[in-house]
Amino acid sequence: MHDDTQAARIQQAAERLRNSHKPVVLTGAGVSKESGVPTFRDAVDGLWAQYDPSQLATPTAFMNNPKLVWDWYEYRRSLTSTASPNLGHRALADLERRFPHLPLITQNVDDLHEQAGSTNVIHLHGNIAQNKCFFNCQGDPTLIDVSTVVWDKENGPPTCPHCGRWVRPNVVWFGEILPADQLQAATIASRQADIMLVVGTSGLVTPAASLPGIARSAGAFIIEINPDYSAITRIADIKLDGPSGEIMPRLLAALDT
Ligand code: APR
């Protein structure tokens, strides 16, 4: 790709954004990659290489082997807890200064958007730093602060102080329903948007993957930022090729010129 062409597309995207009244952002794992958080499909190395994440991130996997799934999440937490926002997160937070209350819909379970300063983050897939009762015995979600629970780490996850059953990460697993309030907020924001920036997602996992289509059907202009081809690329009006930590700051700079 010749960079002049890319520069022209960045200008064009900036022009669209400048005239936007209601932009919305959708992000995926690619945005956190430059912070050292591997994408979901990358997050299997060393000890975990033998496991398929899609086989671990399910309620059935947890029921069959709670310790295995819990330990895998402890490993993933060790990767996210030390990460800091990168230039892509920061540029998206800067965009909110121009567009107050900018809805930022994310599939990421880290809190790097919030750490960068975004305030209106819609988390479709939960929060890896939190835990809840597997049965949500006190209501959905029944969050449990595991730092207050004593348990034998060699023998699996902690147990719920209310009902004595397993505690699990507060994330959405394959086959599970998304948090209704977050999904509703994301759908409304997508329908109302005049521009959707789609950053760092493969667009393979629904219902998040259907949001760009919803936005486009309602008239939004779709700008995609991704170094690779994705399932969103075919409906993108402008595709900016490259890592979000490089492209987002360039887009922000172009917005101010
Ligand atoms: N900048 C932007 N995009 C990037 C970068 C980067 N530096 N590096 C990789 N990407 C792109 C990849 O090309 C890919 O299209 O990020 C995307 C990551 O895709 P996935 O790993 O499938 O992540 P995501 O789309 O967020 O997955 C959705 O599926 O894995 C489950 O629940 C998990 O929330 C996740 C959901």
Q: What confidence score (pLDDT) does residue 149 get?
A: 87
Reference 30, options 40, 22, 21, 15; nearest CA is: 40
Is ligand 1 within 6 A of the CB of residue 227?
Answer: yes
Residue nearest to atom 8 of ligand 1 (CA): 30
pLDDT values of the chain reduced to their tens digit, one per residue, 257 residues: 557 799 999 999 999 999 999 999 999 999 999 998 877 666 555 566 777 777 889 999 999 999 999 999 998 899 889 999 999 999 999 999 999 999 999 999 999 999 999 999 999 999 999 999 999 999 999 999 999 988 888 888 999 999 999 999 999 999 999 999 999 999 999 999 999 999 999 999 999 999 999 999 999 999 999 999 999 999 999 999 999 999 999 999 999 88
Q: Which residues are registered as beta bridge partners of 196?
A: 24, 222
Which residue, 111, 139, 171, sits at the end of a domain? 171
CB–CB of 115/80 below 8 Å?
Answer: no
Q: Which residues are registered as beta bridge partners of 143?
A: 132
Please check whether residues 114 and 182 belong to one and the same domain.
yes
Q: What confidence score (pLDDT) does residue 130 get?
A: 96
Centre of ligand 1 to C-alpha 19, Å, is: 28
Please check whether residues 204 and 229 belong to one and the same domain.
yes
Please check whether residues 167 and 91 belong to one and the same domain.
no
Please check whether residues 135 and 155 belong to one and the same domain.
yes
Looking at the chain, the number of H-run helices and the number of E-run strands are 10, 8
Centre of ligand 1 to C-alpha 224, Å, is: 12
Q: What confidence score (pLDDT) does residue 152 get?
A: 87
Q: Which domain holds residue 5?
A: 1-36+85-125+178-257
Centre of ligand 1 to C-alpha 142, Å, is: 29
Centre of ligand 1 to C-alpha 157, Å, is: 28
Q: What confidence score (pLDDT) does residue 4 get?
A: 75
Please check whether residues 55 and 154 belong to one and the same domain.
yes
Is ligand 1 within 6 A of the CB of residue 244?
Answer: yes
Is ligand 1 within 6 A of the CB of residue 212?
Answer: no
Q: Look up 123 and say whether it is catalytic.
A: no
Task: Considering the candidates 2, 21, 125, 162, report the single residue annotated as catalytic.
Answer: 125
Q: What confidence score (pLDDT) does residue 69 get?
A: 95
Residue nearest to atom 4 of ligand 1 (CA): 30
Is ligand 1 within 6 A of the CB of residue 33?
Answer: yes
Residue nearest to atom 30 of ligand 1 (CA): 40
Please check whether residues 188 and 97 belong to one and the same domain.
yes
Please check whether residues 51 and 162 belong to one and the same domain.
yes
Please check whether residues 206 and 247 belong to one and the same domain.
yes
Please check whether residues 197 and 92 belong to one and the same domain.
yes
Is ligand 1 within 6 A of the CB of residue 243?
Answer: yes
Reference 69, options 49, 42, 51, 45; nearest CA is: 51
- Return the CATH number at 153: 3.30.1600.10
Please check whether residues 202 and 242 belong to one and the same domain.
yes
What's the CA gap between 11 and 3, in Å, rounded? 12
Centre of ligand 1 to C-alpha 96, Å, is: 22
Tally the domains of the chain. 2
Which residue, 171, 198, 225, sits at the end of a domain? 171
Residue type for position 150: V
What's the CA gap between 225 and 228, in Å, rounded? 9
Please check whether residues 250 and 145 belong to one and the same domain.
no
CB–CB of 168/109 below 8 Å?
Answer: no
Is ligand 1 within 6 A of the CB of residue 205?
Answer: yes
What's the CA gap between 133 and 62, in Å, rounded? 13
Could you give the angle at the alpha carbon of 228 between the alpha carbons of 73 and 245, nearest 5°?
A: 70
Non-local (6+) Cβ contacts of 222 within 8 A are: 195, 196, 198, 212, 215, 216, 232, 235, 236, 237, 238
Which residue, 110, 139, 171, sits at the end of a domain? 171
Please check whether residues 21 and 58 belong to one and the same domain.
no
Is ligand 1 within 6 A of the CB of residue 41?
Answer: yes
